[in-house]
Homo-oligomer: A and B are copies of this chain.
Amino acid sequence: MQDSPDIQQACSAALAARLDAGFFKALGDETRLTIVLRLATASGPMTVSEVGTCCGTHLSGVSRHLSFLERAGIVSSEKAGREVYYRLNHGVLAEQFTGLVAAFSACEQYCCC
């Protein structure tokens, strides 16, 4: 199989599948990035209140941000009693970013000049 329109189509489709606006949108807010950073450097799962101490916003906003991040697959939650523990999905992030690198690289190699 050599460089043909077929392989270019495949590269394009693979990259398109990786380009999820929701994922990037979730990371495109300062407060949410602060939360992500806090969770990334935590020694374990954190409650909403604990996360809330790192960013100056109201706790309801923190709860909403965490839900947003969870919907994007970036964090996971687990309910324990009246508290909800959030943790960062390191695996998802690593897989996404490495996948993006590979997809962009493939496009550059097979589609570009």
CB A31 to nearest CB in B, in angstroms, measures: 9
Would you give 28 A-B contacts (Cβ < 8 Å), ordered by A? Answer: A12-B37, A15-B37, A15-B40, A16-B37, A19-B36, A19-B37, A21-B27, A21-B28, A21-B30, A24-B33, A25-B28, A26-B28, A40-B107, A40-B108, A40-B112, A41-B107, A41-B112, A42-B111, A43-B113, A44-B113, A90-B105, A90-B108, A93-B100, A93-B101, A97-B97, A97-B98, A97-B101, A98-B101
| CB closest residue in chain B, given A43 | B113
Copies in the complex: 2
Q: Could you tell me the distance in whole angstroms from the C-beta of A102 to the nearest C-beta in chain B?
A: 10
Q: Which residues of A contact B (CB under 8 A)?
A: 8, 11-12, 15-16, 19, 21, 24-30, 33, 36-37, 40-44, 90, 93-94, 97-98, 100-101, 104-105, 107-108, 111-113
